[in-house]
Amino acid sequence: MTTIDILAIVVTLLIVVLLAKPVGLYLAAAFDYGPNRLNRIYGPFERLIYKIGGIREENQSWKAYAASLVVSNAVMIFVVYLVFRFQGMLPLNPSGIAGMEPSLAFNTAISFMTNTNLQHYSGESGLSYFSQATGILFMMFVSPATGIALVMAFIRGLTGRAPGSFFADLIRAVTRVLLPVAFVSALLFVFMGVPQTFEPAATATTLEGAQQTIARGPVASFLAIKELGNNGGGFFGVNSAHPFENPNGLSNLLQLLLMLLVTTSLPYAYGKMAGRIKQGRILFVSMLVMFIVMTGISLSVEQAGNPALNALGVEHGQGSMEGKEDRFGTAQSAFYSVVTTASETGAVNTMHDTLTPLGGLIPLANMMLNTVFGGAGVGFLNVLMYAIIAVFLSGLMVGRTPEFLGRKIEGKEMKLIAVTLLVQPFLILVPTAIALATNPETISNPGFHGLTQALYEFTSSAANNGSGFEGLGDATTFWNVSTGIVMFLGRYISMVTLLAVAGSLAAKKTVPESSGTFRTDTAMFGAVFVGVVLIVGALTFFPAVVLGPVAEYLTL
């Protein structure tokens, strides 16, 4: 690792930190229904959409908000499923790609709607242009917008307000956040050398005289929303390792920034909306600390390389380069793997399967915790849930009925949170056990690494990340259906239960703060929060992780 490598990472982090607050304040204003300047700018355009859609910008009930979210998402999944199934008969299919097989269509539709972008189909050749545009691209906007709408409703609930309108929030997320940023960054990507064209694939004659087909298309625009919306599905099969999808260090930097942009700014948006900027900052810093620790471990183990190879005397000054792009080297590849899993994006510029065992453990840990920033909206939702658990424990420790933002956390909220807590371990461990027991032949590696492959696949699905450890024969009915179900439940159960928590809290009277109240905007609270996240995460996944990456590391 060179000084430049480290400097590049430090600069990236600095930009992330600098952007977090202003973007957060922008988000808070963007979702404020009251009159403000943003509403004057976007209002006319949005009102037009509201008119067409028959949407009114007025508060729904909590149940209606949750129902609108789940039903609209389910309907979209169904429609896109039909598009994939019948793409052979639909227009814009110059290459004559046939309809998708049912289980694959099921998996793919859920995958993109749930912000996962697990791709079991083969990249460029599995989808028609029509499917790409109406299915993939459409969902790449709607899915993060759903996440952002949700977290806004949740924050409103925590602060005692009505949830707002799901559809209005959804549209605002697209018009005010995703579209403008994606548009500008797409232009930047073009400037950096990413193709943006509707021309068909180019044909080139190689030096040897052979004919080579070079796939291309509207990559820049796709890439922008892929990263900004924490989607992660690649235009090309090899995702951001492809030179057209990530030509150089600068495009790599922009991708990292886009992945973290929304999720790192949400704590500040929350702080602004709750009138507690300081608390937002504490949550931001807590996550940043976890993120930096993860990055540090990842960089050092990847740099150390594979001890077995090192022992053979292989030159390893570059670190472990297996499966990595020469353009990015160990540092930028390892860092990308941390960012893409911390933000639950799932884009890759390196093969996660070939990371060193502990280097592969870091992405896995990020997804298991799902609170090291996390995906657009839902990540911060999880963070707030853990904050409530932290408040519950701390409240007990200081001898008061725990309260969060002045609202008492009681049996009802804890029941809903208890259910939510169960979802992640259940959706990761149970399917992994089933897969290992029933479908061992689809796992390409024996032993510890094979176990990690299966564990990674379901962790990625449950956390709606979408990156793959690869090496799985995952285009089978079993994997399509099982990961499809896991992605769906992993996304929507917690959304519904946590909206119910918000609804329940919103209806409560606030308790005024006194010196006996436990403060949630102190470094101590940040420490308790991180402690709760790590302890719960570690206790849940310790055995699985020990049998996977840790055992692999120990036996190298």
Minimum distance from residue 477 beta carbon to other proteins (Å) = 20
Q: Which of 11, 14, 393, 507 binds other proteins (CB under 8 A)?
A: 393
For other proteins, the closer of residues 180 and 543 by Cβ is 543
For other proteins, the closer of residues 153 and 417 by Cβ is 417
The region that residue 446 occupies, defined by phi over 0 for left and psi between -120 and 50 for alpha, beta otherwise, is beta
Residues 353-382 that bind other proteins (CB under 8 A): none
Q: Which of 184, 397, 477, 507 binds other proteins (CB under 8 A)?
A: 397
**443 beta partners:** 472
**Residue position matching structure tokens 């793919």:** 108
Q: Which of 44, 96, 317, 411 binds other proteins (CB under 8 A)?
A: 411
For other proteins, the closer of residues 436 and 496 by Cβ is 436
Can you tell me whether residue 131 is helix, strand or coil? helix
Q: Any contact of residue 546 with other proteins (CB under 8 A)?
A: yes
Site string for other proteins, 314-353 (x = CB under 8 A): ----------------------------------------
Site string for other proteins, 513-542 (x = CB under 8 A): -xxxxxx--x-x---x--x---x--xxxxx
Q: Which of 35, 91, 96, 512 binds other proteins (CB under 8 A)?
A: 512
Report which secondary-structure segment, H or E, holds 470: none
Can you tell me whether residue 350 is helix, strand or coil? strand
**408 beta partners:** 403
Q: Any contact of residue 406 with other proteins (CB under 8 A)?
A: yes
**380/387 Cα distance (integer angstroms):** 10
**191/193 Cα distance (integer angstroms):** 5
Site string for other proteins, 98-137 (x = CB under 8 A): ----------------------------------------
Minimum distance from residue 515 beta carbon to other proteins (Å) = 4
For other proteins, the closer of residues 41 and 397 by Cβ is 397
**H helices present in 114-248, as ranges:** 123-126, 129-130, 138-158, 166-172, 179-192, 219-228
Query: Is residue 375 a contact partner of residue 147, using CB atoms and an 8 Å limit?
Result: yes
How many residues in the shown chain lie near other proteins by CB under 8 A?
66
In 3D space, the residue among 176, 185, 198 whose CA is nearest the CA of residue 227 turns out to be 185
For other proteins, the closer of residues 237 and 425 by Cβ is 425
**65/281 Cα distance (integer angstroms):** 28
Please name the residues in contact with 142: beta carbons below 8 A apart, sequence gap of 6 or more: 76, 113, 170, 174
Q: Any contact of residue 392 with other proteins (CB under 8 A)?
A: yes
Query: Is residue 24 a contact partner of residue 268, using CB atoms and an 8 Å limit?
Result: yes
**139/125 Cα distance (integer angstroms):** 19
Minimum distance from residue 287 beta carbon to other proteins (Å) = 20
CA dihedral of 454, 459, 465, 470, whole degrees rounded to 10: -10
For other proteins, the closer of residues 28 and 498 by Cβ is 498
Q: Is 289 exposed, middle or buried (0-12, 13-18, 19+ CB in 10 A)?
A: middle
For other proteins, the closer of residues 470 and 521 by Cβ is 521
Counting Cα atoms < 13 Å in the Cβ hemisphere of 198 gives 6
Site string for other proteins, 413-452 (x = CB under 8 A): xxx-xxx-xx--xx--xx-xxx-xx--x------xx-xx-
Minimum distance from residue 207 beta carbon to other proteins (Å) = 47
Q: Any contact of residue 551 with other proteins (CB under 8 A)?
A: yes
Which residues here bind other proteins, judged by CB under 8 A?
389, 392-401, 406, 409-411, 413-415, 417-419, 421-422, 425-426, 429-430, 432-434, 436-437, 440, 447-448, 450-451, 454, 509-512, 514-519, 522, 524, 528, 531, 535, 538-544, 546-547, 550-551, 554-555
